[in-house]
Structures are given as structure tokens and as C-alpha cells.
Chain A
């Protein structure tokens, strides 16, 4: 069986930084990603990041990924398996992988999972009609492949992803009819919402989608008002003439590999649903770690910091010496506190408190 001291699953912002820390400490790292290009969601993020300089604020996601990837290249003990899907994970830290049609096993001493999250879909009439997209798919089409998804879009969801994708659609010359938000408050940062409002896009709270209308493709959408129990109110329907409906209603951590091996997960809604039970980024299986959106749904900036912490912790557990470890861990923790400060961080802070209570 092939062996690698450490395997990092997922080459997004968290996986890339975790791999970097482990390589710096001297460990052998195999980084696995199912895509051909590294960076995870960073590749679609053509907008500039917020936060402090340490998290590459003012840089675009796509540029950040280049720098994170370049960090890894010089290390002799770095192995990359791209276009490779981890299809199974077992409690003795064996991973089964699929590359092209070749199946193989990989034995690791330590595994870091940075598999990210998947997008939610929502139930509404004709939600399988062509022209109904998840926001991530729209971003891939537009920002990675340069293809417009349609001419006029109804955005469902006003979290940061919904707001940013709406803005990017406008930049690409696509009309955004409105942004619907089921709750009474806009979910994302005010800066993003204000940019849209300045362009004349209405963000409508307490509203959701009722149905997609059309024969072979979306020709219109029907929205309706929601009551306190988030149920649609009959008679409150409004029609939008759009050819595209974009769903941006949140993400769920991709825990499946961890669960296969029996790592404990717990439902914490503030962190995105089922999340692995973690103590210092280690799962309930010794030597198996989780970071990034898999640990809790957040911004890429936090994922990059979490990856570094998980990487340092894993390196230490393998008896590698990490220079100035205590100081660096403290500084990274402080960065996370910073990133999670203020009202947008309320949810994550509450969720992490619940997690602390579990371990």
C-alpha cells in the first residue's frame, strides 16, 4: 500500500495553508484534490477580500490561491494528487482514492480534512427546471469559464455569497431583478448590500421563491411573502420576468468522509448543520483533523487561518518542532477572534461556544 506521513484532503484555502505549515515543519505531505486546478472556491473569487493584511485583504481570491500554491512547490516532501477523489476513509487512516479510473489505497499517519461544504438547495415548484442554478455554479460559469448564465436573474438569498454573486452578475452585464431574503434581515455584510443598492437592485426581506415558471427553461419566477413561521402566504405572490434563478441559501459542511470512519458529528445550526466534533481542530479520531468550511461555515479568510492552526497542531503531534509555535498559535487565534468580531461573527461565536460545551 502507498504511504504518506500526512494526507491533506482538499486544496482550498484551509487545505493549502495546512499543507504549508506541515511542510515547513518537515513533514511529508500528500495533498489531494478532485479538481484539476487548486484553490477550491478561491478560483472563483474575483473580488477583493476584507480583513487585515495577514489574511491577504485587498487581494482577490484568485491571486491569493497562486501565492498559497507557490508556497508548497519548493518542498521536496510535497506530493500533489490533483484530479483525484478520495472515495473512502477508514478508522485506521487508510484512504481509498480514485484518479481517472484507477483505484488505490493510501495509508497515512495523520490526515487533515479540508473538504469544504456543499450548497443547499430549497424546495419550490419546478425547482428542477433548466435555468435554476446554485450560486456556486453561476460563479464557476462566469468567473472561471467566462460564460453568462442568462440575461436576467432572480437571486434567492442575501448572505455574502448571494450579494457578491449578484454584484458579479451585474459586472458581467447580467440584470439582477431582485434579491430575496427569507429572514427579516439581510444576511451578508452591509458593504456588499450597499453596493447592490447603489446599482438599484432591491433586496426584499421576508420573501422567498414559490415557483419557477416555464416549459423547457425558466421564463419567470414567482416570489411570495413569508409569515413568522417562514411559510409562504397565499395571495402575496409577485412575478419576476427572469430566465435564471440563482439559489444562495447557505452551505453544509462535507463531513461524509469523516463519518465513514466513525468520527463524531453534531448538529450545530450556527456552524452550518452537521459538523465534526473538534478539540483544537482534532476530530474524535486521534491524528485526524478538520478545518475550514468543514469545521464551520465561514469566509475564506478564516479558513486560511484555521488551516495554519490545524497544520501546526498536526505537525506537533507528529513530534516535529514548529518554530515559535506558542507565539504563532496565539497570534493565529487572535486573528480568528478579530475576523469573528462584530455582528457578522455572532453566529459562529455562538456555534463555537456550543462546540466547546461538547468536548
Chain B
């Protein structure tokens, strides 16, 4: 199987090869990979790629999957326009 042709993260176009290259460079946790490659930061918020990345970390570093920490989840679950937050804050001030 050619790892260059295997897409792990569709949102940010990260391949299996990209992931292995990052592992080789020393990035070992989900959060590290996320910050460098943006895996899990797109519209899917790791709901599609998360499980695969976790499995790949487990396989590559030979760790049990339950020991591979998932990424830290923060609001929001999807993109929210700053203007919408501003409007909500203004409405709250008025009332």
C-alpha cells in the first residue's frame, strides 16, 4: 500500500506518509500532530480522522491504543462567525 495515496485527514489533506514523517521527526502525541499538521482542526473536528490517527500512533510507537491520548477538545464544534458572537454580546448588554 502506497502511504502517499492514503488520506488520513480529508479536511487538511494529510496523508499516511505525512503522518509517518511527523512521527519520525519526533511528534508522538495527537495534540502535537494536530498543531503541526492541522489534523482534527477542520470541519470534522477529528470525528473522521481521529480514530485513524490514534491507531497509527499506537501502531507506529507500539503502544496500546487506550494509552494513546486523544486530542484536547475545546469549543466550538464548528466555525462561528465573530460577527455572530459580537451581535449576541450586544443583545445581552441591551437586555
Contact = CB atoms under 8 A, between A and B. Distances in A.
Contacts of B2: 125
Contact of B84 (A1, A102, A119): A102
Interface in B41-67: 45, 47-52, 56, 65-66
Contacts of B65: 267, 269
Contact of A123 (B6, B84, B88): B6
Interface stretch (A86-94, A331-339, A341-349): A86-94
A210 B1 contact: yes
Contacts of A1: 92
A256 B73 contact: yes
A287 B51 CA distance: 29
Contacts of B70: 265, 274
A257 interface: yes
Interface string A73-112: 0000000000001111110000010100111110000000
A260 interface: yes
B78 A254 contact: no
A321 interface: no
B10 to A, nearest CB: 6
B51 A252 contact: yes
Nearest to B52: A123
Interface string B1-26: 11001111010000010000000000
A127 B6 contact: yes
A289 to B, nearest CB: 19
A118 B78 contact: no
B75 A260 contact: yes
B81 A211 contact: no
Contact of B88 (A105, A120, A122, A256): A105
Contact of B48 (A104, A121, A267): A121
Nearest to A86: B77
A90 B73 CA distance: 12
Interface residues of B, number: 33
B47 A252 contact: yes
Contacts of A119: 48
B50 to A, nearest CB: 7
B92 to A, nearest CB: 7
B50 A125 contact: no
A46 B74 CA distance: 36
B52 A103 contact: no
Contact of B75 (A88, A102, A127, A269): A88
Nearest to A88: B75
Contacts of B50: 252
Given A210-B1, A256-B73, A98 B78 contact: yes
Contacts of B85: 103
Interface string A153-177: 0000000000000000000000000
Interface of B: 1-2, 5-8, 10, 16, 45, 47-52, 56, 65-66, 70, 73-78, 80-81, 84-85, 87-88, 91-92
Closest 8 CB pairs of A and B: A88-B75, A87-B76, A103-B84, A267-B66, A118-B47, A259-B73, A128-B7, A125-B5
10 contacts: A88-B76, A105-B92, A119-B48, A121-B51, A123-B7, A127-B6, A210-B1, A252-B47, A254-B47, A257-B77
